[in-house]
Amino acid sequence: MSQTTVSVPAARYIPQGRLGIWILIAGELIIFGGLIACYLLYRLRFPEWGAQAAHTSTLLGAINTLVLLTSSYTIVRAHSASLEREKTKIIKWMIATISLGFVFLAIKTIEYSNEISHGFTLTSPSLVKAGDSVGANFWSFYYFMTGLHATHVIVGMIIMTAAIFQVKKEKNFHRVELAGLYWHMVDIIWIFLFPLLYIAK
Amino acid sequence: MNNYRESHEGVIQPEPETDYHGHPNYTKVFFALIGLLAFSLVLGFFTSPMIAVSLIFFVAIIKAGFVVGNFMHLKFEPILIWIVIGVVIFILATFFLCLLPDVTFVERILAK
């Protein structure tokens, strides 16, 4: 079959891996989008959630946002390097991205330990005992959304590590872009979580 | 110009590494995102939580647009990818708007 005689819609020319990742991203956005929509509805219904949000650390949240935005920049640089097949550069930028992932998780751990030490947990029994079950719901949303997001960060780091091994063998350079697309999705989710959980008080 | 190959299923595919994307100035986009982050923090000082949440969410949408459009190269992707993402946004918007009256206004009226 001659390639010049084939007439197919432009969409068919999307590489399968890239299309697959976009469909995965769409699925993930439904999960997180649904959670964020529910959070927004509750936040509008119960303005007293603002009092609970006041206990989250805006500074640590802002640092984590900066960390993830920077990691999005480093992974897109790795993608640029992958187009030139510059192995050393790709690995350097991807290791920088993974390191930023570790920084994000470390900061999140500090935040969690602070909040748990003040009695704010997934179920917050102290708030429930005090009759503030609405306030306890805020923390359920907080831990579920940030915990699920942190799980995605860990998965992203594993995917990037696997991609680095492939690049080392000079194979599948396009997987750097696919890993990058997943990582950007993780960043976008945080872009929405940060203002809702840390700024609006 | 794309380099095409025929996969074992007979489907014509571009080489996986084929780059049909444009490449924006990533550094400029990064600094724009940092600027928007700072702006979000300033908006947090609004006294009305309703206004603050709305404005901050609007800035978050702009930030996400920068990342999706430039870092994820959505603006260079074919219509199929736009449709995939568009359907998700439509479903989420419908879900939110359908529940909004129940969760906010109706319950408040019943409470009175």
Q: Are residues B43 and B95 in the same domain?
A: no
Number of folded domains in chain A? 1
CA dihedral A108, A111, A115, A121 (to 10 degrees): 0
| pLDDT of residue B5 exceeding 60 | no
| pLDDT of residue B53 exceeding 80 | no
Give the position of tokens 């989420």.
B92
In a domain, A87, yes or no: yes
Q: Are residues B70 and B99 in the same domain?
A: no
- Residue A98 half-sphere exposure toward CB, CA atoms < 13 A: 17
Q: Which helix (H) or strand (E) element contains residue B14?
A: strand B12-14
Q: Are residues B48 and B18 in the same domain?
A: yes
Q: Are residues B69 and B87 in the same domain?
A: no
Q: Mean per-residue pLDDT for A15-29? A: 92
Q: Are residues B16 and B54 in the same domain?
A: yes
- Residue A196 half-sphere exposure toward CB, CA atoms < 13 A: 26
Collapsed DSSP state (helix, strand, coil) of residue B7: coil
- pLDDT attached to residue A180: 95
| pLDDT of residue A195 exceeding 70 | yes
Q: How near does any CA of chain A get to the CA of B8, in Å?
A: 13
In 3D space, the residue among A50, A163, A80, A117 whose CA is nearest the CA of residue B21 turns out to be A80
| pLDDT of residue A12 exceeding 80 | no
Q: Are residues B83 and B32 in the same domain?
A: no
Q: Which residues of A touch B88 (CB under 8 A)?
A: 26, 29-30, 33
Q: Are residues B69 and B96 in the same domain?
A: no
The more confidently predicted of residues B13 and A199 is A199
Q: Are residues B48 and B3 in the same domain?
A: yes
Of A25, A41, A199, the CB nearest to B99: A41
In 3D space, the residue among B69, B86, B88 whose CA is nearest the CA of residue B23 turns out to be B69
- pLDDT attached to residue A66: 94
In a domain, A1, yes or no: no
DSSP A175-196: HHHHHHHHHHHHHHHHHHHHII
In a domain, A3, yes or no: no
Residue to mutate among B67, B85, B107, B109, with most A CBs inside 10 A, is: B67
Q: Mean per-residue pLDDT for A13-24? A: 88
- pLDDT attached to residue A199: 82
- Residue A128 half-sphere exposure toward CB, CA atoms < 13 A: 10
As to burial, measured by CB atoms within 10 angstroms (0-12 exposed, 13-18 middle, 19+ buried), residue B2 is exposed
Q: Which domain holds residue B108?
A: 78-112
Q: Mean per-residue pLDDT for B53-78? A: 89
What are the tens digits of pLDDT across the range A38-83? 998 888 888 888 888 889 998 999 999 999 999 999 999 999 999 8
Q: Which helix (H) or strand (E) element contains residue B6?
A: strand B4-6
Q: Are residues B4 and B28 in the same domain?
A: yes
In a domain, A94, yes or no: yes
- pLDDT attached to residue A33: 94
**Residue B56 carries which side chain, given as an amino acid letter?**
I
Measuring CA to CA, how many Å separate A84 from each of A19, A39, A41, A80, B68?
Answer: 22, 43, 47, 7, 22
What are the tens digits of pLDDT across the range A74-109? 999 999 999 888 899 999 999 999 999 999 999 999
Would you state the structure tokens that stand for residue A39, as one six-digit string? 């959070």
Q: Are residues B100 and B68 in the same domain?
A: no
| pLDDT of residue B17 exceeding 70 | no
In a domain, A2, yes or no: no
Q: Are residues B50 and B91 in the same domain?
A: no
Radius of gyration of chain B (CA): 21
In a domain, A5, yes or no: no
Q: Which residues of A touch B77 (CB under 8 A)?
A: 14, 22
Write the CATH number for A157. Answer: 1.20.120.80
Of A14, A180, A191, the CB nearest to B80: A14
What are the tens digits of pLDDT across the range B71-112? 998 888 888 899 999 999 999 999 999 998 888 777 667 766
Structure confidence at residue B2 as a pLDDT band (50, 70, 90) = very low
What are the tens digits of pLDDT across the range A150-162? 999 999 999 999 9
Q: Which domain holds residue A176?
A: 16-199
Q: Which residues of B touch A41 (CB under 8 A)?
A: 96, 99-100, 103-104
Whole-angstrom distance, CA of residue B63 vs CA of residue B72: 13
- pLDDT attached to residue B112: 67
Asked if A22 is an interface residue toward chain B (Cβ–Cβ < 8 A), one would say yes
What are the tens digits of pLDDT across the range A116-171? 999 899 888 888 888 888 889 999 999 999 999 999 999 999 999 999 999 999 88
In a domain, A137, yes or no: yes
Of B12, B72, B78, the CB nearest to A11: B78
Maximum CA extent, chain B = 68
Looking at residue A124, what DSSP letter applies? -
Q: Mean per-residue pLDDT for A173-177? A: 91
In a domain, A9, yes or no: no
As to burial, measured by CB atoms within 10 angstroms (0-12 exposed, 13-18 middle, 19+ buried), residue B1 is exposed
CB-CB contact of A55 with A136 (8 Å):
no
Q: Mean per-residue pLDDT for A185-189? A: 96
Size of interface A-B (CB pairs under 8 A): 157
Q: Are residues B7 and B39 in the same domain?
A: yes
Query: In chain B, what are the helix, strand and coil shares in percent, each to the nearest 5?
Result: 70, 5, 25
Number of folded domains in chain B? 2
> CA angle, corner B63, sides to A25 and A54, nearest 5?
100
What are the tens digits of pLDDT across the range B6-16? 444 555 545 54
- pLDDT attached to residue A52: 87
Q: How near does any CA of chain A get to the CA of B41, in Å?
A: 7
Asked if B33 is an interface residue toward chain A (Cβ–Cβ < 8 A), one would say yes
Of B23, B56, B71, the CB nearest to A195: B56
